[in-house]
A and B are shown apart, each in its own frame.
Chain A
Amino acid sequence: MALFENSYRPYEGGLTPEWARFLVLPRYALRDVFGSKFFTAVFCLCFIYPLVSAILVYLRHNSNAIAIMQIDVRELLPIGASFFQFFVEVQGWLAFILTVLVGPVLVSRDLTNNALPLYLCRPFSRAEYVLGKMTVLVILLSLVTWAPGLLLFLLQAYLEGAGWFASNAWMAGAIFVGSMTWIVLLSLLALAISAWVRWRVVAGAALLGMFFIPSALGGVVNQLFFTRMGNLISPAALMGSIWRGLFGHFRREVGSYEDAWGRGFVEVVIREPPLWASWLVVALICLACLWLLSRKVRAYEVIK
């Protein structure tokens, strides 16, 4: 038996709080992401529309500019729920492009490099890993969606006055909730696809397919059966309904047609699925993504 001196002393200093450790992942990942000039360029382009919107809001309140241009910007550009809803939709789709660029490698790179054991042999759980990776997208997408949206809202409130702010404060909530719902859906879908598809190009294509193929299928169902229930399988249509609901523009009756019934014709109303159904399906998609992640984000994959 060897004689051991026991002179070794383990580290006994302080540690960062447990809750904050997942933030190490976005810190390093964002540095990598912005190492790409192409991504940085696309990211910068995402701020063009917020900038144009801010200029329009400013012009709308600048009497000199209105006089010089000799047009009534107030008529051209009413600033209200429709304006901010359009803003959320435009920025939402730009966020989708950013997700396609960043999302596919977030988990797949660690799986390909067998790096998960390295993360998980530390005081770091699978949930923290997923949260850390998700935070990369949440930070990036927030910067182009609700963050400029709220700034725009505050600019409008500042120029319009306290009365406008008081009566339209709910719109700030709609901007935030609508954008965050979209961000969570995009992030979870991107991470789930990244965990299951290791090839970056295929993962990117899969993410695009997740939105466009169900949309096309839903459209076919809607056309064939004179319904809007096909929208329930289309994430894009679901989010469209949610955004309209949040900004107060959601209507269930979207059209009608005449159908033979007995000896005469009756008018059949085409209805959108109820708003709660859209929320429910989005929540179910998110849960499915979490389940898919829980199957893949493990220290070791058991192959049966």
Chain B
Amino acid sequence: MTTRTTNAERMIVFEGVSKFYGEILGVNRINLAIAPGITSLVGPNGSGKTTLMNLMTGLLRPTRGTISVLGTSPHDPEKLFRKVGYCSQFDSFPPGMTGREFIEFYLSVHGYTRGEVRDLTQAALERVSMQDAAGRKVAGYSKGMRQRIRLAQSLAHNPSVLILDEPLNGLDPMARAEIIRLFQSLAAEGLYLVISSHILHEVDMMSDSVVLMHNGYVVAEGDVHGVRGEIEEHPMQILVRCDRPQVLAARLFEHEHTIEARIHDDRRGLFVRTRRPDDFYLLLNRLVTENNLKVESVAPADDDLNAVYQYLIVSEGGRVS
């Protein structure tokens, strides 16, 4: 019992959570335990990502089930929001405010004293590299600067959990790389970052785990490679770059777990689809030795979030946003 309590205090836990908007399903029967690090929510529009985030922050109440954020109920805002920072997807700025005032205002609402507000604001601005532009009106900011200032307001009070709805939207590649580095540094310090995003390759790059959502249900969760390994109906695709791909293809077809072998357009590689990747790698070693093949590289071609998304969501009728 004690261990269970301790775990609940270290995780963001959803137990049988459903949310209905009247007769419309928001999310259904969600059971999740989110650990420290970067967890990405991925899914098409309307899949329930934002609903899940709003449930976590107590902005919506679940129709059924319970949620606990590091042992705190979302319905205890006084405790919850000392631990949680939230950045909504909306471009919501009160008119006429400078970046610094925007952060200071919401920190004041949070209950910090004026001195603390000043110090925390400065630290947050430095964290997102916005200290130079902080005195300018938000209305004059570029989209990337707005994203960063919103991010700053969500982390200004030093929360343990950061819930960020589409934080990479509108950022140019340089700014995205910078923000991802910030996320990674926060995660490395032990923060919980729950991020929703449509930019799959970047989610893949930065996430410790992903939660794939579709039509209000969690389709898969966990490490991307682990999730990919469990999708049995889509055999793993592996690209072998070698000097004689046609020889390798002929030998591979002698084995039943090889489903497809297709020579790369440049004729210096072979795409192989196999149901048993582990057996394939052992076989490849043998064939390379027996046939004296020169292999440049062997890499999974669909062991990433994009492939997982395609197999689990797009092929099931979802649309890529």
Contacts and interface: CB of A to CB of B under 8 A. Distances in A.
Contacts of B80: 123
Contact of B84 (A24, A32, A115, A121): A121
Interface residues of A, number: 41
Nearest to B50: A300
A122 to B, nearest CB: 5
B88 A18 contact: no
Contact of B77 (A5, A9, A114, A124): A124
Interface string B1-31: 0000000000000000000011000000000
B292 interface: no
Contact of B37 (A4, A13, A16, A118): A4
A264 interface: no
A163 interface: no
Residue from the set A9, A27, A28 with the largest chain B CB neighbour count within 10 Å: A28
Contacts of B219: none
B158 A122 contact: no
Contact of B208 (A1, A9, A27): A1
B188 A5 contact: yes
A21 interface: yes
Contacts of B208: 1-2
Contact of B90 (A5, A18, A117): A117
B54 A122 contact: no
Contacts of B94: 109-110, 113, 115
Nearest to B120: A11
Residue from the set A4, A17, A118, A304 with the largest chain B CB neighbour count within 10 Å: A118
Nearest to A20: B111
Contacts of A123: 77-78, 80-82, 110-111
A225 interface: no
B90 A24 contact: no
A121 B191 CA distance: 18
The bracket for how many chain B residues form the interface is 35 or more
Interface stretch (B101-109, B128-136, B283-291): B101-109
Contact of B186 (A1, A8, A17, A115): A8
Given A1-B208, A124-B77, A11 B158 contact: yes
B113 to A, nearest CB: 6
Contacts of B90: 113-114, 117
B106 A118 contact: yes
Contacts of B93: 113, 115
Contacts of A28: 105, 108
A39 B77 CA distance: 37
A109 B94 CA distance: 8
A121 B92 CA distance: 13
B82 A10 contact: yes
Contacts of B116: 13
Contacts of A2: 37, 187-188, 208
Contacts of B140: none
A151 to B, nearest CB: 31
Those 9 A-B pairs whose CB atoms lie nearest each other, nearest first: A8-B189, A6-B190, A299-B59, A114-B90, A15-B111, A121-B86, A114-B92, A11-B158, A24-B108
Given A15-B110, A117-B92, 5 more contacts: A5-B190, A24-B109, A109-B94, A122-B81, A299-B54
8 contacts: A8-B158, A10-B158, A11-B120, A113-B92, A113-B93, A115-B92, A122-B81, A122-B109
